[in-house]
A and B are shown apart, each in its own frame.
Chain A
């Protein structure tokens, strides 16, 4: 979405500099909105004329009502807010854990040969593994409660945080390091005052990617063993063929992911305004 609006801004710029045309082309945002409108329209038509059984495809109106009921009454012993709350608790618990482990690990890989030698194989082993592949093992080890979910989500977030930290560390400007050394910095000071701050933009990008990966894993983890959470809610609804709640849940998941991405970008712009000026 953001990419689209950026492209839109680009297109807008070129239009401003070009001589005024008779008709301005449609902004991309409008085209996107029209697309969504058409999809919902086709969906409404398909269910109105019963082209597909309502069990498989409830009407948009039914989904909206389901969403409303979710907010007010809830489903499987919890309201939508409680399901979303449980999911967000897991994802942020996992995020904090993976930041606390990932940043020091990334620093070790980026600054020390020994650190790299030790951690690289572990990261390279973990990175391509689908989290669902090791979820059963984690459940055997940690149990079926919150801990196993947070562990799996954290493991799926770790590689991108570690790799982005080490990439940021390795990209530090040599002049920046030399300047600090010639101004009297010790090795620890170079790391704290120069290397770490210059890696922050890369780390933030890593966190943004990690959030995406974590969100995917979260929903999957909740499908397997949970008593609350947005993924669990969808799974339960599917078992009773309550398709309108399934669709409502999917829409909520998508919306939350978009909001998380947007907030992460906002934080990035606030925290490291200099990243785009290097």
Chain B
């Protein structure tokens, strides 16, 4: 069991010179968070709350101004294959076909061509794209691209999947199907996951826990145990879960929590 830990993490951007650039901007303030590999922690917040910065810190793209981020006790000092990122804008390589995109992390490790292509085939089948290996990236739909992106991240055999609004750009119908898919593939992989989303519904459906991030500066202001993902994994349909009274109640509660910050700001 791996654990990703944020301990008193703050992030401050230096003062910007020029118009309106008075003083430094504190983006995240005193974040404490633990994610275990059997969890999917959904982080939700409005735009500008620093959710993407939080994920970029975990990925190692950014360095905290204060505090530490560790994976199983080892400090994060930069990006690494133990924390693979799935991007909203898929970030697949158009010069590689779907199979070689998935095999990319294996290539980086020096796995021989035949072996990494064989492994990519297995992953293609796992994400339901067994016949799409030869396809160009631009021939794939948005949902298929995200499946390839997730398979590519899994090929790195990460301890944690960092999901940066991976379903944000999909249409509503595809999105519902992909939510179910994402849950299953995450559970099979045995990796922990951090999901950034601005959809309360998605956070509740997918997250073992839902964490609310409030802006100016970004602070974790609420945390709830969701547990709907277990129901879905046990066979309940996403639609049924969404229709249940308890889901609606929690949805309303979370909406209130996120909204509360807004009113404070206005007052």
Contacts and interface: CB of A to CB of B under 8 A. Distances in A.
Residue among A182, A189, A200, A278 having the largest count of chain B Cβ atoms under 10 Å: A182
B93 interface: yes
A38 B79 CA distance: 66
A182 B83 contact: yes
B91 A184 contact: no
B84 interface: yes
B109 A178 contact: no
Interface stretch (B100-108, B191-199, B213-221, B250-258): B100-108
B59 A180 contact: no
Nearest to A176: B91
Contact of A184 (B87, B93, B105, B137): B105
> What size tier do the contact residues of chain A reach?
20 to 34
Contacts of A194: 93
Interface in B93-138: 93-95, 104-105, 107-109, 136-138
Interface in A185-202: 185-186, 189, 193-194, 197-198, 200
B152 interface: yes
A273 interface: yes
B108 A189 contact: yes
A184 B156 contact: yes
Nearest to B83: A182
Nearest to B101: A179
B93 A183 contact: no
B13 interface: no
B136 A182 contact: no
Interface string B52-96: 000000011100000000000000001111011101010101110
Interface of B: 59-61, 78-81, 83-85, 87, 89, 91, 93-95, 104-105, 107-109, 136-138, 152-153, 155-156, 162
27 contacts: A175-B89, A178-B59, A178-B85, A179-B85, A179-B87, A181-B78, A182-B80, A182-B81, A182-B83, A182-B85, A182-B162, A183-B152, A184-B105, A184-B109, A184-B156, A193-B104, A193-B107, A197-B93, A198-B95, A200-B95, A273-B136, A274-B137, A274-B138, A277-B94, A277-B136, A277-B138, A278-B94
